[in-house]
Structure 1
Amino acid sequence: MRIGVATFALSMTAMVTAVPCALADHAPNYVVPGRPDVPVIINFFDASWGVVEGEWGLYRPGAVAPTVIPAPYVMPRTQAKPYYPSLGGIPYKGRLEIEPPANRELPPPAPSYHRSWTSESQNLPATEYAPTPPVIIGGDVDYNNDRRRRRRPH
């Protein structure tokens, strides 16, 4: 009896948890455009950053007309006013700008200033080989010379 009740409870739990998994493809879809400057158009509506309900994709195309819930309009941030601490406001421009008088004393001319740069590679050989020790050539020495010992026939 207990085994039958446990089996029934386990089968009911499996069915209850399987139903939401089977309906998971019918949930609303959040629309995220691939590029911010290209809108996502669904049934002649701009659905970028919105929600689409009733769209099942290739599961059942065209079965239900999708409902597009557009994203709320977000006002762009306004530019902050510039801050100029010396004047307290925007610098004067145009006719309000102070022009120096024509007969004022001019500053002395600046000294001449000239610099030049060059770059070049050093003249090196094509390849630089690692230094190796000198090779010593010696005579051929054979300490196990079998020619000195003659074999004697038995």
Structure 2
Amino acid sequence: MKIIQSVTIDPVQKKAIYDLWNKEYPAKLKHEEVKHLDNYLSHLADLEYHLLTGPSMEVVGWALRFTRNNQPWFAVVIDSNLHGQGHGRRMLEEMKKTTDELNGWVIDHNEDLKENGEYYRSPLGFYLKNEFIILPETRLELEEMSAVAVRWVNKK
């Protein structure tokens, strides 16, 4: 598996990201059309994509780093068939190389259903294993998502 870093994505890559998003995130977060993903991305600044590609260069995971409120934020989605193989850690390590801090929202429960009817498994333990800390006082409580903030800070 190879990680490709870019500040832009082509239409094929965008469609793959859209498909991964809708397959792996809770159904409540689904984008009905690719243009809805475009709308989400258009409101983010300083986009930096990290695409995990398979043998045929197909996108099987992606990480996104962006700026929100003058802070570096991130999101990661990897095909669930590839979980537990170190790809998520590799993608985080790539993002950590060029910043001293990463912030993100993490769903911290296992109660939401994915499109396929399976329960979404919270990745909170994964982030804790990768040097992130939970900011319990910072929560996002929306109709479509309940999450806690996590942060990684470079300890140079």
Q: Under a length normalisation based on structure 2, what TM-score does the superposition of the two structures give?
A: 0.18
Larger Rg belongs to: 1
Q: Comparing both structures, which one devotes a greater share of its residues to helix?
A: 2
Q: Under a length normalisation based on structure 1, what TM-score does the superposition of the two structures give?
A: 0.18
Kindly indicate whether structure 1 or structure 2 has the higher relative contact order, using CA contacts under 8 Å at least 6 residues apart: 2
